[in-house]
Homo-oligomer: A and B are copies of this chain.
């Protein structure tokens, strides 16, 4: 008997029928003797609709009220999932974020889970109950509804798994695992059986949108094995048919590069002619951080005369208006501001990089051979990212996938 957290994403609970199918999977796990906590996303399209309402109401909406609006999507699915489970004669009830409670900080719209009080749910599980928890939402210490940011349902699931010391967290989604890159772009992409937390983190944060970054971080920290699997196939998590995200030690063979990730949700901001004095970076990035703008790549070039500098950084496209507003109100001189959103980030990721050199060089040579100009470079221990013109995304990904020997047999559409 295992304690399993089963998380169903938006397409897996797209409508009443899909919720019923998800409930049937949970029922199979329950019948096999497992304890199950179900975490659900909003029905597909709902969150976009709710976010759309907020955007239409005000470009600079109050994130506290945004949270009230968008958290309702998961609430609906949770209630419906509880009803669906009851049809299998399972005792099930929904637990809103404020009922569990899932306590977060008060960074509305992007809150972080601080504590989950799982005692009552654990007691109910031990009596044979199934708990249904809406993902993505929590409650601040001030008692207001918070949300964890887009894709936060994965994070909810992992955090719940950690709080309840679950044996495994199954992430049911519309893909059957984690691939070496997006199969829509590279038909030869292959499904990984296992991938380490570290690699998954880079892949997730770089735009391979199978799992939310924060969820992998928590899984790694709390040592929770995550499984990514499809809810559209006839199997359940306990059959282990997906990709297991787990500790490096659990993975026998390492490739130099595990996967190629990319993100088109990028915007580049360049401040030209900033006085080159100490503290200038802090003066720029402090207020951006305060405004919860997530800055990703940062490059600073000193000018020829050594008196001014050009600062380039990237943010997600959704954060661009907020970033520009921060810059507008900032106490800092600069000559000119340039922005571009026709850019994309492409990254190669692999734990093998740690012990091998030449990985970056292969990347630069491959891109050069296709005449793809690199605008910004950023590296970490296990990944190399470049910012390129958006039009070149597919070409770059395909070339790199081949260059690093990741091409398998072509995936046949089923």
Interface residues, chain A, with chain B CB atoms under 8 Å away: 16, 19-20, 50, 53-54, 56-58, 61-62, 64-69, 71-73, 75-76, 78-80, 82-84, 86-87, 93-94, 96, 98-99, 143-145
A65 surroundings in chain B (CB, below 8 A): 79-80, 82-83, 86, 93-94
When the two chains form the complex, which single residue of B50, B56, B79, B98 contacts A69, counting CB atoms closer than 8 Å? B79
A64 surroundings in chain B (CB, below 8 A): 93
Contact B76 A61 (CB under 8 A): no
- Provide the bound-state CA to CA distance between A67 and B143, in Å: 20
- Given A20-B57, A57-B16, A143-B99, A78 contacting B68 (CB threshold 8 A): yes
Query: A45 to nearest B CB, angstroms?
Result: 13
- Provide the bound-state CA to CA distance between A215 and B54, in Å: 31
Query: A261 to nearest B CB, angstroms?
Result: 34
When the two chains form the complex, which single residue of B69, B87, B96 contacts A58, counting CB atoms closer than 8 Å? B87
- Provide the bound-state CA to CA distance between A50 and B73, in Å: 11
* A–B complex contacts, Cβ < 8 Å, 11 sampled: A19-B57, A65-B86, A65-B93, A65-B94, A68-B96, A69-B80, A71-B75, A72-B72, A72-B76, A75-B75, A99-B144
Give 4 nearest A-B pairs by CB, closest first. Answer: A68-B79, A69-B79, A72-B72, A65-B79
Q: Is the interface of A mostly helix, strand, loop or mixed?
A: helix
Name the CB-closest residue of B to A17.
B56
Contact A16 B53 (CB under 8 A): yes
Query: A86 to nearest B CB, angstroms?
Result: 6
A20 surroundings in chain B (CB, below 8 A): 57
- Provide the bound-state CA to CA distance between A83 and B87, in Å: 39
A62 surroundings in chain B (CB, below 8 A): 82-83, 86
By CB atoms of chain B within 10 A, which of A54, A78, A83, A93 has the most?
Answer: A83
Contact B76 A50 (CB under 8 A): yes
Name the CB-closest residue of B to A82.
B65
Contact B69 A76 (CB under 8 A): yes
Query: A10 to nearest B CB, angstroms?
Result: 15
Name the CB-closest residue of B to A74.
B72
A66 surroundings in chain B (CB, below 8 A): 79, 83
A54 surroundings in chain B (CB, below 8 A): 79-80, 83
Contact A75 B86 (CB under 8 A): no
Contact A86 B72 (CB under 8 A): no
Query: A325 to nearest B CB, angstroms?
Result: 16
A57 surroundings in chain B (CB, below 8 A): 16, 19-20, 80, 83-84, 87
A82 surroundings in chain B (CB, below 8 A): 62, 65, 68
- Provide the bound-state CA to CA distance between A100 and B266, in Å: 41
A76 surroundings in chain B (CB, below 8 A): 50, 53, 68-69, 72
Contact A53 B68 (CB under 8 A): no
- Provide the bound-state CA to CA distance between A54 and B20, in Å: 12
- Provide the bound-state CA to CA distance between A143 and B120, in Å: 13
- Provide the bound-state CA to CA distance between A213 and B56, in Å: 35
- Provide the bound-state CA to CA distance between A54 and B76, in Å: 10
A19 surroundings in chain B (CB, below 8 A): 57
Contact A75 B78 (CB under 8 A): no
Name the CB-closest residue of B to A72.
B72
- Provide the bound-state CA to CA distance between A232 and B62, in Å: 27
Name the CB-closest residue of B to A64.
B93
A53 surroundings in chain B (CB, below 8 A): 16, 76, 80
A144 surroundings in chain B (CB, below 8 A): 99
A143 surroundings in chain B (CB, below 8 A): 99
Contact A58 B75 (CB under 8 A): no
